[in-house]
Amino acid sequence: MLIDFKNVTFGYTDVPVVRDVTFTLHERERVGFLGGNGEGKTTVLKLLTGELTPDSGEIVKKNGLCVGYLAQNGGLQSQSTVYGAMEEVFYEDRLLLERLNETQLAMEHATPDRMRVLSARCESLTKRIAARDSYHTDVRIRTVLNGMGFGERYAQTVSTMSGGERTKLQLCRLLLEAPELLVLDEPTNHLDLNTLFWLEEYLSSYKGALLIVSHDRYFLDRLTARTLELDRGTLTSYKGNYSRYKVLREERLEEERRAYERQQEEIAKLKTYIERNIVRATTASSAQSRVKQLERMQPIERPAPPPAPPVFRFSYDETPYECVLRAEHFDLSAAGIPLLRDVSFALMRGQKLALLGDNGTGKSTLLKFLLSHDVRVVRGRYARFAYYDQENAALDPDERVLDAFWGVHRGMDQTAARALLARAGLTADDVQKKVRELSGGLKAKLALALLQAQRANVLVLDEPTNHLDLPAREALETALCAFTGTVLFVSHDRRFVQSVATRIAVLENGSLSFFEGGYEAYLAAKKNADAPKPAALSAGKRTDGYRSKEERAREARRRSRAGEIEAQLAAAEAETAALTEELARCGRDFVRARELSERLTRLQAHIEALYEEYGTLI
């Protein structure tokens, strides 16, 4: 057991946020934590980390438990460089290596009496260094930073980075610290697809326990084996990942409904019997026993219906021509930095095209260019476009929600406007608030309501699932799948892409590649080196997915050398273990102890060089 919540209740200003929360986290357990916006998930996490104290109940933690917590906007605060901030994690390792080096130098000129002390110290330090794997801190730092997309930014100062980048760096630091319990609140925010895949692989072999709050359903399915759900202050545990949780939750709600109905039927039968027989002498005794049976019955509360998810419906008035948008042979840059070179783009009626690519490759810039009135962009006849901006920059924070809606759609009467906003998930109280008072999720729902009212036949969406909880994401998926118009969208939500997209466009290395079929087809093509890929044909020669004889030879040499290094590393690690064991048995043979220490130092330098070369090959 790592941590145990026992009937924990907490609230603000005497209003409970969570009530009688009970659950246990065990060693190496992988747990997903779900709940709607504002349900109190962050409150539970702060109770777990000790930032908050429960009003009642008890939280029991394992002695010496180390908890690492990544808050949603918990950016790393440091004046160091990116690499330097990660090195701080291994301060004790550096001290151990420095002390070992000092001890080995002192052994070279030590007297026999002094040598005995130094040899014992050298043995102790060597064991501690081996246990902590201190020689490989550089490899560990580079592995994490490269995997999280900071491979070219080691020397950049942390304080000059954006909030999202500093949150990613805080996650890097937590991964290197490797706490026994790692608590992650929306760790996939700000991550592109390649980084997401890397993080999943890294966490799948993480040695500690994981508690993950995430709206990324792929991520939860891949990593979690139990799911906690917080609903209206009450916490329920389900065995299984997100997909399994959805099935079990429906089964539980159905069983609770049936149990309530069975009891109501039983109560009705008992009451009917009592009413008919209580006044008759021959059956009065039997009726009294039914009265006592009713009094002993533990009433089952009527199950509260699950919160209704928002409902989105996209429709339009006119059908456009077959090609709704075309731009040919254009270049694209941002702030003087080239993003695309000699690219052509066409969007056909009815397509649902997902635009994928790493952060910084220019996806949002491309969307804005395609929506511009640039002469290189040609729109099809009757094509009517509507744009969803991930920042919701068009919303005036000082406007009342209802006025913000009417400001765009003046022809809609109040009843219709309120009904549309209500279906999107904004209550009667919400529509009277100022936009700035809304949560990120409610702002997103307001923007989607505005989008619906435009009745456009081409929807251009930039990260439409940002800030939306899982029911809202699934409702949006359903609406876009039912939409008969055209959709062009950017999203890092892989389940969303899988559900909606019928075609994939990938922006990378200054070019744009198209993949027919949905997300699964794209992944298959990406993983299979021989799968057919989109390619421009030039002089009858394949230019995509083709490798020359020289390229194949280089690849074979790379694989061969990587195999050689793996074998050499295995032999060197085995020799290190043998030398360390022999050093421990040296006793008073100080000459042999010094020889072994020197050999260990040279061997570790050799291992570091091998790892450095290996890192360039994999």
Place of tokens 């394949």: 542
Convert 317-380 into a string of H (helix), E (strand) and C (coil): CCCCCCEEEEEEEEEEEECCEEEEEEEEEEEECCCEEEEECCCCCCHHHHHHHHHCCCCCEEEC
pLDDT in tens, 219-273: 999 999 999 999 888 899 999 999 999 999 999 999 999 999 999 999 999 999 8
pLDDT at 549: 63
Confidence band of 123 (pLDDT split at 50, 70, 90): confident
pTM: 0.74
Residue 167 phi/psi, 5-degree rounding, is -65, -40
Express as a percent the part of the chain with pLDDT over 70. Answer: 94
pLDDT in tens, 171-226: 999 999 999 999 999 898 878 888 999 999 999 999 999 999 998 999 999 999 99
Confidence band of 584 (pLDDT split at 50, 70, 90): low
Confidence band of 92 (pLDDT split at 50, 70, 90): very high
pLDDT in tens, 49-59: 999 999 999 99
Helix axes 590-617, 112-132, angle to 10 degrees: 30
Over residues 121-137, the mean pLDDT reads 89
pLDDT at 533: 45
pLDDT at 548: 57
Over residues 580-588, the mean pLDDT reads 70
pLDDT at 532: 43
Which tokens sit at 358?
Answer: 């790493």
More confident residue, 578 or 455: 455
Report the DSSP beta bridge partners of residue 340: 332
DSSP 541: B
The yes-or-no verdict on residue 570 having pLDDT over 80 is no
The yes-or-no verdict on residue 602 having pLDDT over 60 is yes
Convert 468-491 into a string of H (helix), E (strand) and C (coil): CCHHHHHHHHHHHHHCCCEEEEEC
pLDDT at 536: 42
Give the C-alpha separation, 164 to 335, whole Å. Answer: 20
More confident residue, 163 or 545: 163
Cβ atoms 139, 610 nearer than 8 A: no
DSSP 128: H
pLDDT at 277: 86
Cβ atoms 227, 219 nearer than 8 A: no
Compute the radius of gyration of the chain from its Cα atoms.
31
Report the DSSP beta bridge partners of residue 347: 325
pLDDT at 477: 95
Give the C-alpha separation, 601 to 411, whole Å. Answer: 80
Confidence band of 452 (pLDDT split at 50, 70, 90): very high
Q: Which of 71-80, 140-149, 595-604, 605-614 has the highest mean pLDDT?
A: 140-149
- Side-by-side strand order, sheet with 352-356: 385-388, 458-462, 486-490, 352-356, 503-508, 511-516
pLDDT in tens, 413-439: 778 888 999 999 888 888 898 988 887
More confident residue, 292 or 555: 292
Over residues 401-409, the mean pLDDT reads 81
The yes-or-no verdict on residue 480 having pLDDT over 70 is yes
pLDDT in tens, 524-554: 888 774 444 444 433 333 334 445 566 667 7
Over residues 84-110, the mean pLDDT reads 91
- Side-by-side strand order, sheet with 377-379: 337-348, 323-334, 377-379
- Side-by-side strand order, sheet with 15-25: 15-25, 3-12, 56-61
More confident residue, 9 or 555: 9
Residue 466, C-beta contacts closer than 8 angstroms, at least 6 positions apart? 390, 440, 444
pLDDT at 531: 44
Give the C-alpha separation, 258 to 343, whole Å. Answer: 59
What Cα–Cα distance (Å) separates residue 374 from each residue in 38, 324, 366, 408? Answer: 42, 15, 12, 25
Cβ atoms 3, 61 nearer than 8 A: yes
Cβ atoms 178, 208 nearer than 8 A: yes
Give the C-alpha separation, 481 to 145, whole Å. Answer: 38
What Cα–Cα distance (Å) separates residue 135 from each residue in 54, 98, 202, 607? Answer: 43, 11, 20, 9
Tell me what the pLDDT averaged over the chain comes to.
Answer: 86
Give the C-alpha separation, 363 to 462, whole Å. Answer: 9
Give the C-alpha separation, 570 to 31, whole Å. Answer: 35
DSSP 66: -
pLDDT in tens, 309-334: 899 999 999 999 999 999 999 999 88
More confident residue, 505 or 403: 505
The yes-or-no verdict on residue 588 having pLDDT over 50 is yes
The kind and range of the H/E element at 613 are helix 590-617
pLDDT at 118: 85
The yes-or-no verdict on residue 448 having pLDDT over 70 is yes
DSSP 535: -
pLDDT in tens, 359-380: 878 898 999 999 998 899 999 9
Q: What size, in residues, is the chain?
A: 618
pLDDT at 618: 52
pLDDT in tens, 501-517: 999 999 988 889 999 88
CA 461 from chain centre, in angstroms, equals: 20
CA 270 from chain centre, in angstroms, equals: 53
Helices (H) and strands (E) in the chain, counts: 19, 18
The yes-or-no verdict on residue 587 having pLDDT over 70 is no
Alpha helices in 488-589 (DSSP H): 494-500, 519-527, 549-584
Confidence band of 67 (pLDDT split at 50, 70, 90): very high
The yes-or-no verdict on residue 393 having pLDDT over 80 is no
Give the C-alpha separation, 108 to 110, whole Å. Answer: 6
The yes-or-no verdict on residue 576 having pLDDT over 80 is no
Over residues 95-117, the mean pLDDT reads 87
pLDDT at 464: 93
Helix axes 440-453, 470-482, angle to 10 degrees: 20
Task: Give CA torsion, residues 607, 88, 143, 123, to 10 deg.
Answer: 30
Give the C-alpha separation, 362 to 37, whole Å. Answer: 30
